[in-house]
Structure 1
C-alpha cells in the first residue's frame, strides 16, 4: 500500500508552534510583569497628588492679590456724603402787599396780557327784531408826553367818516418813551363798541381821533388810535336768534372755557423761577352779538381781555418772611407750598390790567419757610477738615439746622482734600 505523504505533512502542521500550549512557568512570568505595570500606575497616582499642593499655593496667591486689589479700590474711591437738613419754620400769613412792574423793586410782577375769543354754534329758535352794535379792537397812542393818560369809560373814538365807537372800560395809555435815540409813542389796546346799532358800522381798518380833546389842539393831534381788527357784528333787522336762556347758558360756558384755557396757557408761558397764583388774574368779558349762520343757527362769541400776574418766587418768599418772622435778617428763603396760599387781587380790575404799573393784593394761609444755603461754600469749607470739625464748620452756616456725614473709606477720619 502506498503511503499518503501529504497526510504526514498535514499531521506535522497540526503540531505547529501556534498550537503549542504555554508552560505554566511562562504564564506566571507574564502575570508578574502585569503586576509590575499596576504598581507603576499606582505610583503615578501618588505623583498627581503632590501636584494639588501647587494648585493650593497658586489659589492662595490669587486670593491674596484679590484682597489687596479690593483694599486698593476702597482706598482709591475716597469721598464724603453730607446730608443736610435746612432750617425751616411754618408761619401764618395774612398780609396785604403792593408790587410794581419796574425793575429793581423789592417785589416785582410781570403781566402776561390776555386777549382770547371763544365761540360756538347754537340753534336759532326765535324770530326777533335785532339791534346789535359793531365791535372791534383798536390801538390807542399817546405821543403827547412821557406821562400816562387815563381815558374814562365810554371815551369816544371817531373815524374820518364820522362813525363813533366807545371804550367799555377806563384805560391808561402809557407815556411816550425814548428807544434807540428816538421818541416812541406809548400805546395800549382796547375793545370798542359802535355808538349805534346797524351794519353800516361794520368797517375795515381805519384811523380814529378823540373828539373829547378837540378843545386842546396839541393833545387832540398827539392822541389817536388805529384799528387792530375790523369792526363787525353790527345789525339792525329781523333775524332768527337763540332763546335768552340758551344764550345765557352758552355764554357762561364759553367764559369758563376761556378762563381755564387762559390759566393753562399762561402757566406754560410763565418765566422760570416765577409763580402764578390761582387768583392773580384780572379779566373782563365782552359778549359779542350772535351772528346768523345757516339760517337756523347762530354763532356766539365771547371775548376775554386782561392779564395774569406772575411773581419772582425768591422775592415774594422773602417779603412773606419779612412780615411773618420776627427779626428776619433777609437770608434767602424758599416757600415750597407758595402756590397753596390764597391770593386775592385788590387792584386793578378789568381788561385794563395788562397796563397796570402797580398791583395790590393779599395773601392768606400757612406757609412753610425753608432757609437756603450755599452748597458750594459748604463743600469748600469741609475740604480737608477732620470729621470732628463738622459742628464748628456749621456755625458759619446759620441756615443749616443739622448735618450728617458719611466718609469713604470707612476708616478715614477726615474729609477729602480735593473736591
Structure 2
C-alpha cells in the first residue's frame, strides 16, 4: 500500500506542469478566437458605416446634379375653331393702314416650246423675231413710239416694233428703259442674228438719234424663206393652247417657289397673259417645226397673318386680336370680282374678292412669354399659370428628374411643343 501511494504522488507531481501549460494554451486560443470574432464584428460594423456614408454621398451627388440636368418638356394643345367661310373682302395694293388688307403684285415671265412634226412641205415666208430693250438718255420726259417703229440694227438690217410703247424718261442719271418685241422688216434667214445694238431710224438727223438706243435680249431667230415643213393653222392652235397651259403651270410653280415665308398665293389669285406675237415658229430639218410661246403670270400675294386676322375679326364674336393663322389655307377657294382675262394687273390699285371653304382658325402661342412666366415656378403652380392663357386648351408638363418640384430658372431648359394642325 505505501509503495503504490508513493508512486501515485510521484506521477501526479510529474503531470502538474504539463497540465498548467495546456490550460494556459487553451486560454490563449480562446482569447484569440474571441478576439477574431470581435474583430469580425467590428469589421462588419465598419463596412456598414462605409456603405451608409457612400450611399448618402451618392444621393447628395444625384441631388446636386439634378440642378444641372433639370429639364422640362411641355406639350401644348392650342385653341382651334372650325369655321365655314364665305367672306367678301377688299384689299389695297401696298396698303399701310392696320385696318386695311394689303396685297402685293408679283410678275413672273417665261416661255415654253415644243416640236411639231409636219407631213408636207410648203413655200414658207417667216420674219425673224426677237426682244429688245429701248433706252432713253435724252431727257426726263417720256417718249412715245408708235407700232412698227423702225430700228436699225448694227448688222444694217431694219426691224420693227410689234406694238406702240412709251419709253420712260431718265431718273437722275439712270436711263429710262422698256422692253418690246421686234420682227424683221422682211422675211428671210438673213435677219436672224446674234444680239445686236440698234438706233431708232426715225430719229436720224435729230439730237435724239444718239440719245435713244436699243439692245437685243438674246438672239434674233425664226427668219426663213423657202420650202419648209408645213403645219396647219389648226395644228398650230392646238399646240399653242397646250403650250399656254404648260407655261402657266410652270410659271405658277416658279412663283410659289419664290414666295417669302408668311405669304400666300392662291391658285386662283393669278392671271396669265400673252400677247399677239408672243409665239414663234422656227423651221428646222427633219420635217419638224419648233413652236415657242412666251407669257407672263401676275399674282396677288397676301400676308397670311394679316389675312387670318381680318377673317377672325369678321367671323369670331369678341375676337381679342390675338395672333392666329388659318391651317391649310391653300385649300380655300379664291375668286375675283373682275374678269381676269381682260384686266390689266399692273394698273390695279385695289381688288374685291371672295374666300370660301372650310377652315380652322388656330391661335398661336407666344412661346417666349410662356417660358418666361414659368421660370422658377413651383410645379403645383402650373395649372394656375395656364389660366392666364385662354388660347391654350390643355397642356402636359413633364419634369426630369421626376422628383423635382420646381421649374428651371433658364428658358433654355424648358422645351415647349405646340401641336399646331398642318
State if a TM-score over 0.5 links the two structures: yes
CA RMSD of aligned residues (A): 4.9
1:261 aligns with 2:250: yes
Consecutive unaligned residues of structure 2, counting only runs of 5 or more, are 1-28, 204-210, 412-422
Once the two structures are TM-superposed, the CA of residue 283 in structure 1 deviates from its matched residue by 1.9
- Residue 118 of structure 1 corresponds to 112
Query: Contact 1:92–1:324 (CA<8 Å) still a contact in 2?
Result: no
- Residue 96 of structure 2 corresponds to 104
Matches within 5 A, 1:13-412: 58-78=50-70, 80-102=72-94, 104=96, 106-139=100-133, 157-159=149-151, 164-167=160-163, 182=172, 188-191=178-181, 205=196, 227-229=216-218, 231-235=220-224, 237-242=226-231, 247-285=236-274, 288-294=279-285, 296-345=287-336, 346=338, 349=341, 353=345, 358=350, 360-387=352-379, 389-390=381-382, 393-394=385-386, 396-407=388-399, 410=402
SS of equivalent residue, structure 1 residue 233: coil
SS of equivalent residue, structure 2 residue 354: strand
Query: Contact 2:248–2:297 (CA<8 Å) still a contact in 1?
Result: no
Distance 1:198 1:134 in 2: 7
Distance 1:299 1:347 in 2: 32
Distance 2:96 2:124 in 1: 53
In the superposition, relative to structure 1, how do residues 339 and 233 fare at CA in structure 2: closer, same or farther (>3 Å)? same
Once the two structures are TM-superposed, the CA of residue 352 in structure 1 deviates from its matched residue by 6.0
Query: Contact 2:199–2:212 (CA<8 Å) still a contact in 1?
Result: no
In the superposition, relative to structure 1, how do residues 329 and 61 fare at CA in structure 2: closer, same or farther (>3 Å)? closer
Once the two structures are TM-superposed, the CA of residue 303 in structure 1 deviates from its matched residue by 1.6
SS of equivalent residue, structure 1 residue 335: strand
Task: Please list the CA deviations of residues 200-255 of structure 1 after superposition, one character each: whole Å capped at 9, or x if unmatched.
Answer: 876764558799xx9xxxxxxx9997654555434555422245565455444444
Query: Contact 1:91–1:325 (CA<8 Å) still a contact in 2?
Result: no
Once the two structures are TM-superposed, the CA of residue 149 in structure 1 deviates from its matched residue by 11
Query: Contact 1:74–1:409 (CA<8 Å) still a contact in 2?
Result: yes
Once the two structures are TM-superposed, the CA of residue 364 in structure 1 deviates from its matched residue by 2.2
Query: Contact 2:136–2:168 (CA<8 Å) still a contact in 1?
Result: yes
Distance 1:290 1:402 in 2: 64
Query: Contact 1:283–1:307 (CA<8 Å) still a contact in 2?
Result: yes
Distance 1:389 1:378 in 2: 14
Distance 1:97 1:157 in 2: 44
Once the two structures are TM-superposed, the CA of residue 409 in structure 1 deviates from its matched residue by 5.5
Distance 2:270 2:142 in 1: 23
Distance 1:66 1:401 in 2: 41
- Residue 36 of structure 1 corresponds to none
SS of equivalent residue, structure 1 residue 317: helix
Distance 2:318 2:201 in 1: 54
Task: Please list the CA deviations of residues 124-159 of structure 1 after superposition, one character each: whole Å capped at 9, or x if unmatched.
Answer: 3222343545443344679999999999xx955443
Once the two structures are TM-superposed, the CA of residue 337 in structure 1 deviates from its matched residue by 0.9
SS of equivalent residue, structure 2 residue 327: coil
Query: Contact 1:86–1:371 (CA<8 Å) still a contact in 2?
Result: yes
Question: TM-score, length-normalised on structure 2?
Answer: 0.65
Consecutive unaligned residues of structure 1, counting only runs of 5 or more, are 1-38, 215-221
Q: How many residues are treated as equivalent by the alignment?
A: 368
Task: Please list the CA deviations of residues 44-78 of structure 1 after superposition, one character each: whole Å capped at 9, or x if unmatched.
Answer: x9899766776565445434433333333335544
Question: TM-score, length-normalised on structure 1?
Answer: 0.65
Query: Contact 1:348–1:359 (CA<8 Å) still a contact in 2?
Result: no
